[in-house]
Amino acid sequence: MSGQEPGGPYGTGFLRGLGRRLGGLLASEREPGLVNHVSLGAHCQMAHVLKTLGLRTWSGPFDWIFTMPGMVRDCLADDFADLLDRTQLETIPLAERQGEGIWRGRHRLYRERHGLECVFNHHDPAADDADYRFLADGVRRLRIALANPAAANRFWLLTHLHTPMDVVQSICDALAQSGSRNHLTFLQHLPGACERRVVTGEATRPDLRWLAVETPSASIGLRLAEPADDAFLVDVIAAESRRPVPPSP
pLDDT digits (tens, 9 = 90+) for 114-133: 999 999 999 999 999 999 99
Higher pLDDT pick, 109 / 6: 109
Predicted TM-score (pTM) of the model is 0.86
- pLDDT tens digit string along 14-46? 444 444 344 444 444 589 999 999 999 999 999
Domain limits, the chain = 34-241
How far apart (Å, rounded) are the C-alpha atoms in residues 117 and 106? 6
How far apart (Å, rounded) are the C-alpha atoms in residues 23 and 15? 12
Query: Percent of the chain, pLDDT > 90?
Result: 80
Higher pLDDT pick, 100 / 38: 38
Classify strands 105-107 and 152-159 as parallel, antiparallel or unpaired: unpaired
- pLDDT tens digit string along 197-234? 999 998 889 999 999 999 999 999 899 999 999 999 99
The whole-number pLDDT of residue 20 equals: 38
Question: What does pLDDT average to over the chain?
Answer: 88
The whole-number pLDDT of residue 98 equals: 87
- pLDDT tens digit string along 129-177? 999 999 999 999 999 999 999 999 999 999 999 999 999 999 999 999 9
Query: Percent of the chain, pLDDT > 70?
Result: 88
The whole-number pLDDT of residue 77 equals: 96
